[in-house]
Structure 1
Amino acid sequence: MGSTASRPQIPDNLTTRDQKRVFIRRYIDAHGFRWLVYLVAASGFLTDSYNLFATNAILPSLAFVYWPDEMDGWRESLINCMTLGGSLIGQLLFGFLADKYGRTRLYGIELVIVGFTTIALAASSTGFGNSIAVLPWIVSMRFLMGVGIGAEASYPLSASICTEWASTKARARMMVAVFLMQPVGQLISQLVAYGVLLGYNNSYDLRSCKSPSEGECGRVVDIIWRWVAAVGAIPALVAIIFRFQIQDPGLYDLDVKDDGTRAVQNTMMLYRYRRVSTVVSNSADEPQMEELGRDASVNPPQPNGAAIQHRHEQESELPEQFSWDDISDYFLKQGNWRSLAGTSMCWFLLDIAFYGLGMGNPSTLAKLWTYYQAGEPLGDVPSWNPNAARPHASIFDALRDNAVQNLITVCIGSVSGCVLLLMIIDYVPRKQFLMYSCLWLAALFFITGGSFFAVFHNDLHAVSIVLVALCHFSFNLGPNTLTFLIPAEIFPTRYRATCHGIAAAAGKLGSVIVQASLPTWRVDGVSVSNPNSSGLGWVFILYGFVMGIAAVFAWAWIPSLQHPRGADGSGTRGSLKLPSKTLETLGEGLIKSREEGEILGMRARLRIRFARRSGEIREVHG
C-alpha cells in the first residue's frame, strides 16, 4: 500500500490507545459507503458464491458424461457434502487465522485456493484408457475448493474486513450489499450454464442426445460443464487484484497487534488523506482534533507533559488473545457464550432449511415443476435426468429445464429479497427482524407443506412453485442475510473472525447433515426422493418447526445492535432510521447490554415475561 516514506504522519497528540481508537472511529465515521472496501469484500464473495452454486448447474452434465447409466444420485450428494464439508473446515481454520495473524495477510490465499481448484476441476480427466478415477478427483477438488470458499464466503474474512472498515452509519448497508453477491453469484452461474448450453446447441444438436455414446454428445456435454466451472476462476482473479488495495483495518492493528501508529496510518491511507472535519472534546482522553487532509496540517492543542504521563499510567494492557484467562472471562464469566451460541444455533437451523430446500437441486425443482397424475407409472431414469415423468428426455432438456426452473424459482426471489433488505436495513431492528422473519418463514413452510399435499397430483402444482419462490425471497430478506451480518458486529475485534467462522461452520454442519440425509429421508414409508410421493410436503413442515426454533434462539440470546430512533446525536429525532451501535460498544458484550437495560438469556427472558404478565413489572428492554 505504499512505502514507509509515503506513510502519513499521525497527529502528535495521539499518545494513548484510547485516543487513537477515538481518532480511528471518528475518521472512519466521517465517511459513508466506502466503495473500495465493498469491492474488495464483494468480489471475493461473488467468486465463492458462483463456485458453490455452480455445482447444481454442472451435476447433470457430470452424471451424463461419467456415470450415465446410474439410477441413484449418491455421487451428486457426495460432491455436495464434500464441498460443504470443506467449507466448514475453511470457516473454522481461516476464522482463527484471521484473528491470529491478520485480515489481509490471509485474504488472497483462499482466493488462490478457489482459483486453483476451479481450474483443476475443469481439467478433470479419466486419463488414457480410464487410468484415472474421475470421481475421487472431482470430490477432492470440490473439497479443497470448499475450504477456500469457507475462508471467504464463509465469511470470516469478507465479513471482518467489511465490518471493521465500514463507518457506523453505512456498516449494515455495506454488509448486506456484500451478501447480495451470494444470490447474484447463484444467478450468474445459472445464466452462464444456460448461455453455454444454447451456444453449443446451435452448433451441435443436443436435443437428441440421450447417451454420451451417441455421436459427439459425450464430448460436447463434457465441454459444456468445463466452461461453466472454469468461468468461476475469472472473478477469483479480479478479487485477488482488489485484495492488494487495502491493509488490515485500523481497529485490528490497534486492539489486537497493539500497533497504534500503523492503525492510524492505515486508516488515513485508506481514505487517501481526504479532508475530514472531526470534532472531539478537549479532554484528558480525547484531544481536540481539527481538519485532517493531505494539505491540512494536523496541529490540535497539545496537552502538557503531566497529562501525557497520566494517560500512559492509566492505559491498561490489552487482553491476551486466545489465552484461557481471556476466553473464560469474556465468554464464560461475562456470559458472552450466549451470543456465540445464539448466532451459531440460528445459522445451524437456518442452513438445515436453506440447503435442505436444495440450493436449487435439480431433482427438487423437477418435482415442483412437473405435474404427476395420481398413481401415474413413472419410468426409471438415470441420475442426470431429474424428471422421472420424462424418461425419454435428452440431456438438453435436462440442462435447459434445470437452468430455467432455477432462475425462476430460486434466483429471482433470492436477489429480490436481498435488494429489498438493502433498502430497509437501516429502518428495522436487526435482532427483532431476524426473529420475526424466522417466524414468518416457519408459517410459510407450514403453508407450503400443507398446500403441497393438496396440489401435488393436480394441475394446481404451480401454487407450490410460487410458495417455494416466496421462501427463497424470504430467506434473503431475513435470516439468510442477517445470520451473516450479526456475528460480524457483536463480537470484539480480537475474536470477530473466529466467532463468525464458528457461527458459519455451525450453519455448514446443518447443511452437511441435511444434504447427506435428505435423499433417503422418509415419513411412514413415504420417500422424499420418490417423485411419485408427496413426501416433500413433510419436509416443508419439518422446516417450519426448524425455523420456529431458530426464532427462539434469536429472541433469547442475540443482543440488540441498534440505538432507539434519533439517539445517535444527530438531532434528527424525526428520522425513521435506527442508528447502529459502534463496534466498540457492541464488542463490550453482554455487560454493556445489561447496563443499557437489555435482558438476555432463556430463563431471564421467560422470567421477565411471566413477571410482566403478572403485573410485577411494566417495562422490559430488548
Structure 2
Amino acid sequence: MAKEQLQVLNALDVAKTQWYHFTAIVIAGMGFFTDAYDLFCVSLVTKLLGRIYYHHDGAPKPGTLPPQVAAAVNGVAFVGTLTGQLFFGWLGDKLGRKKVYGMTLMIMVICSIGSGLSFSDKPTSVMATLCFFRFWLGFGIGGDYPLSATIMSEYANKKTRGAFIAAVFAMQGFGILGGGMVAIIISAAFKSAFPAPAYEDGALASTVPQADYVWRLIVMFGALPAALTYYWRMKMPETARYTALVAKNAKQAASDMSKVLQVELEPEQEKVHTQDKGNDFGLFTKEFLRRHGLHLLGTTTTWFLLDIAFYSQNLFQKDIFSGIGWIPGAQTMNALEEVYKIARAQTLIALFSTVPGYWFTVFFIDKIGRFWIQFMGFFFMTVFMFALAIPYTHWTHPENRIGFVIMYSLTFFFANFGPNATTFVVPAEIFPARLRSTCHGISAAAGKAGAIVGAFGFLYAAQPKDKSKRDAGYPAGFGIKNALIALGCINALGMLFTLLVPESNGRSLEEMSQENEEENGATEMKPQGASDFRTVPVGSV
C-alpha cells in the first residue's frame, strides 16, 4: 500500500512549467556544454600535436602521435571521468547535491587552463603534463554527470521530467559544436596572420611556429563557460527530495521550494520519519538486489555498450574521413589548414546530425517513452554501421563519399535520438533518493569504461597495417571496416540489454523507486522486457 506523499514532493510533481525549470536547465546544461567541449576538443588537435612534437627529423612533412601517446591523450580524460563519476556520485548522496556541485566546476576551470599551459622543450614532458591535467579535468567532468542528472530529475515535474533532463544533456551537442567552431575560428585566424612560408622547392612548410598556440587556446577556452556558471550554481537551493528524504529536514525543504514554486507549503516533519520504513536498505544488500538489481544491470550495460560506439566515432572521425578521402591527406596541407578542415568536417556533422538528434529526444521522450527511443536508436545505429562497413570499398570511391558521410551522420543522429540521451535520463529516475546519485554515477562510470574501450580499441584497430605508412602518418585503411563491423555488433547487443530497463515515463520518482510503499508492501518493479512487455489492451468484440 502506498504511503501518503509529502506535500512538497507532490507540489514538484504537478507543478506547471515555470521559469525556474529553464534556469535549472541552463545552469546544469552549461556544465554539460563544458564537459563535451573539453572531452572532444582534443580530437581536433591530436594531429596538430603530432606535427609539432613528433615531426620526422625536422623534414617538412606531417608528423603523427605514436599510437601509445595518442591513446593516452585521448583516453586519460575518460579514466578521470570514470573515477569522478563514482566518487562524486557517492559524495552527492552523502553531502548533498549542491555542496559538491561547485567543486566539479572549479576543477574543470583550473584543469582546462592547466592543460593549455603544458610547456616544455621535450615532447614527452609536454604530453605527460597534458595527460596529468586532462585526467583531473575528466575527474571534474565525471562529477557533473550524476549531479546534473539528479538535480534536474528532482526539480522537474513528472509530466515533462524526461524532456528537462534530456535538455540538460542536449547541451553536450552544443559543446561538441562549440568545440568545432572555436577550432575553426582560431585556426583560420592564425592561418591568415601567419601564412606558411615556402621552401626552396616551392613546397609549403608543414608547421609554422605559431601553431603551438593554436591547440593551447582551443583547450583553454573550455574554462570560460564553466567559470561563468559557477556563481549561479552556488545560488541554487538544495533539492527538496534530498533535503526531505535523505537529510530529513522537512522544514527546510518546504521553505526552499516555497520560494522556487512561489506557493505556500507546510513542513510535514512527522511524515518524513515514516518514509524510510522498509526503504532504508543500502546499495550492497539483498533488498536492493531484489528491487533494483536488474535495473542497475540494464543501465550499466546499455551505457557501456553505447559509449564504445559513440566515443570511438567522435574521437576518430578525422581518421574515418581521411580514410575515405573526404579530408585530404595530411601530406597535402600545412598544420593549420589540417586543423581547419578537421574542425569544419566535425562541425558539419554536429550541426546537421548530432545536435538535431539530442533535441528530437527532448521533444519526443515524454511522448514516445524512454524505452522505445533507446531501442530504436540502437536498432538504427546497428543498421547504418553494417551498411557502412560491409560495402566499405564502395564508399572509398570519390563519387560515393557524400553518401558515406550522410549515412555516417545518421548514426550520430540515432545515437542522440536514442541511447546516448536515454542512458543519461533513466538512471536519474528509477533509483531511491538516497542512492540516486550513486547509482547514476555507477551507470555513467560503466559508460566511460566503454568510452575507454572505444578510444583504445578503435585507435589500434584503425591503424594502417603497413608500418612504414603508419609511421608516416597515413590514414587508416581496411582497419576501419573491421572497426565499424565490431561497432555494429556492439549496438545490436545494446538492443538486447535495453530489455532490462524499465519505462519511467509519466511516473513520479517515488513511484519508480518504490519509496512511497509501506514496509513489506514493495514489489519488484519489472523491467521493460519482462512478461508484461508485449501486453496490450484488447477491446471487447
Answer whether TM exceeds 0.5 for this pair.
Answer: yes
Deviation per residue, 1:289-318 (Å, 9 max, x gap)? xxx39xxxx8x9xxxxxxx99x77993645
Q: Give the letter aligned to residue 600 of structure 1.
A: P
Verify the 8 A CA contact 1:347 1:504 in the aligned structure 2. Answer: yes
Whether 2:137 is the aligned partner of 1:149: answer no
Q: 1:549 aligns with which of 469, 476, 493?
A: 493
- Listed as ranges, the matches of 1:383-394 within 5 Å are 389-394=329-334
Aligned letter for 1:224? V
Alpha-carbon separation, structure 2, partners of 1:421 and 1:365 = 27
Q: CA deviation at 1:133?
A: 1.6
- The one-letter amino acid paired with 1:364 is I
**In structure 2, what is the Cα distance between the partners aligned to 1:65 and 1:132?**
12
Q: Aligned with 1:180: secondary structure?
A: helix
Which deviations, in whole Å up to 9, do the C-alpha atoms of 1:257-294 show, x marking residues without a partner? 111111111211223xx2x4xxxxxxxxxxxxxxx39x
Kept in 1, the 8 Å contact 2:325–2:396? The answer is no
Structure 2 counterparts to residues 382-531 of structure 1, below 5 A: 389-521=329-461, 531=475
Comparing 85-94 and 403-412, the one that deviates more: 403-412
| Structure of larger gyration radius | 1
Counterpart for residue 315 of structure 1: 274
Q: 1:241 to 1:313 in 2, by over 3 A?
A: closer
What's the RMSD between the two structures over aligned residues? 3.5
SS at match of 2:510: helix
Provide closer, same or farther for how the CA distance between residues 435 and 313 of structure 1 changes in structure 2, counting only shifts above 3 A.
closer
**Does residue 1:242 correspond to 2:232, yes or no?**
yes
Separation in 1, partners of 2:168, 2:102: 17
How far off is 1:21 after superposition? 2.0
Shift of 1:207: 7.7
Q: CA deviation at 1:550?
A: 0.8
Letter paired with 1:121: S
**What's the CA shift for 1:521?**
2.4
Mapped partners of 1:50, 1:490: distance in 2: 29
- Secondary structure at the aligned position of 1:258 is classed as coil
Give 1:584's aligned residue. 510
8 Å contact from structure 2 (residues 503, 528) kept in 1: no
Q: Against the structure 1 CA distance between its residues 313 and 416, is the aligned structure 2 distance closer, same or farther, given a 3 Å change threshold?
A: closer
Instruction: Name which of structure 1's ranges 109-118 and 356-365 shifts more when overlaid on structure 2.
Output: 356-365
* 1:442-474 alpha-carbon deviations (Å, 9 max, x no partner): 112111212323222453122211111111111
What residue identity is the alignment partner of 1:189? G
Aligned equivalents of 1:405 and 1:313: distance in 2?
54
Structure 2 vs 1, CA of residues 504 and 314 (structure 1 numbering), >3 Å: closer, same or farther? closer
Deviation of residue 393 (structure 1)? 2.0
Q: Which residue, out of 352, 362, 365, partners 2:321? A: 365
Conserved 8 A contact 2:77-2:135:
yes
Please tell me whether the aligned partners of residues 246 and 270 of structure 1 are also in contact (alpha carbons under 8 angstroms). no
**Contact 2:324/2:401 (CA < 8 Å) preserved in 1?**
yes
Q: Matches of 1:171 and 1:50 in 2, distance apart?
A: 25
Tell me which amino acid in the other structure corresponds to 1:35.
F
Select 1:56's aligned residue among 28, 40, 43: 43
* Aligned residue number for residue 293 of structure 2: 337
Distance 1:317 1:82 in 2: 40
User: Structure 2 regions of 5+ residues with no counterpart?
Assistant: 57-62
Q: Could you tell me which amino acid in structure 2 is paired with residue 332 of structure 1?
A: L
Q: 1:192 Cα shift?
A: 0.5
Percent sequence identity is 25
Higher relative contact order (CA 8 A, sep 6+): 2
Which whole-Å CA distance do the structure 2 matches of 1:403 and 1:209 have between them? 27
The answer to whether the 8 Å contact 2:40/2:314 transfers is: no
What's the CA shift for 1:538?
2.4
Distance 1:595 1:261, change over 3 A: closer
Please tell me whether residue 90 in structure 1 is matched to residue 16 in structure 2: no
* 1:433 Cα deviation after fit: 2.1
TM-superposed CA distance for 1:517, in Å, is 2.1
C-alpha change, 1:35 and 1:447, in structure 2 (3 Å) is same
The equivalent of 1:79 in structure 2 is: 73
Which amino acid in structure 2 is aligned with residue 359 of structure 1?
L
d(CA) in 1 for partners of 2:217, 2:463: 40
* Count of residue pairs the alignment pairs up: 519
Please give the TM-score of this superposition, normalised by the length of structure 1.
0.76
Give the conservation status (yes or no) of the 8 Å contact 1:256–1:321.
no
Does the CA-based 8 Å contact 2:300-2:442 persist in structure 1? yes
Point out the structure with the larger helix share. 2
Cα contact 1:343–1:486 (8 A) shared by 2: yes
1:557-592 per-residue CA deviation (whole Å, 9 max, x = no partner) reads: 111212xxxxxxxxxxxxxxxxx1111111118999
Distance 1:250 1:394, change over 3 A: same
Displacement of 1:403: 0.9
For the 8 Å contact 1:487–1:503, the answer to whether it is kept is: yes
1:40 is matched by which residue type in structure 2? I
Whole-angstrom CA distance in 1 between matches of 2:322 and 2:498? 34
Please show how residues 104-253 of structure 1 align to structure 2 within 5 Å: 104-126=98-120, 130=122, 133-152=125-144, 155-206=145-196, 217-253=207-243
Shift of 1:597: 11
Structure 1 portions without partners, runs of 5+:
1-17, 277-291, 301-307, 371-385, 563-579
